Amino acid sequence: MQKFTTLKGVAAPLPVPNIDTDKIIPKQYLKTIERTGLGRYLFDDLRFTPDRKERPEFVLNQPAYRKASILVAGENFGCGSSREHAPWALLDFGIRCVIAPSYADIFYNNCFKNGILPLTLPKDKIDVLMKDAANKNSFTVDLPNQKVTRENGESFSFELDKFRKHCLVNGLDDIGLTLEHEAAITKFEKQQKESQPWLYA
């Protein structure tokens, strides 16, 4: 998993509450277990007409936001059904950070497992950042110091669980966390093979 330390990038505004996972990536694209290639289907119904023409009014179709790496969203982002394809699609598109007042729990947890920082700020701070994003401003997200800095230099601090922060900063998903104990696992397996060889027959 790619490490997340400091991210500076264009922020796309999506001031809509209750964006559910079917809006993030519709159900017809859930057949694959590949994590790549899903970015082209991100917000599919919002980005495209039924005949696959871009909707020019949608934010990610506008030239200034086509390479956005930060998304400023409304409350309860990622609600609806559980699907890990939602953060996969965001990440494949290039979104590394979502800033919102609140999230659905399963989506929130899935973001951390895939290298996306879903940070939470109070509504008044979100409103400020939403206006900045609408004005095509970029932000700097500093995870080690837990700050979001606007172009004018003003910073907003955010809270984050220490363990989740550790995982993102070090690029550790569940497999990576397990491999931190690789030496102990190898030692145990060697001892077990010697003491209980029938388990490996």
Q: Where does the pLDDT of residue 174 fall: very low under 50, low under 70, confident under 90, or very high at 90 and above?
A: confident
Architecture of the structural domain at 6-170: Alpha-Beta Barrel (3.20)
Q: Where does the pLDDT of residue 76 fall: very low under 50, low under 70, confident under 90, or very high at 90 and above?
A: very high
CA distance 31 to 48: 20
Res. 11: pLDDT tops 90: yes
Res. 173: pLDDT tops 90: no
Residues in the chain: 201
pLDDT at residue 103 in the model:
98
Residue with tokens 């800033």: 99
pLDDT at residue 161 in the model:
94
Question: Which residues 6+ apart lie within 8 Å of 91 measured at CB?
Answer: 35, 39, 114, 115, 116
pLDDT at residue 42 in the model:
97
Average pLDDT score over residue span 167-190: 79
pLDDT at residue 177 in the model:
67
User: What pTM was estimated for this model as a whole?
Assistant: 0.88
Q: Per-residue pLDDT tens for 34-48?
A: 888 999 999 999 999
138-142 vs 147-149, strand pairing mode: antiparallel
- Domain residue spans of the chain: 6-170
pLDDT at residue 25 in the model:
96
CA distance 166 to 21: 26
CA distance 72 to 84: 20
pLDDT at residue 79 in the model:
97
pLDDT at residue 188 in the model:
82
CA distance 106 to 110: 6
pLDDT at residue 201 in the model:
73
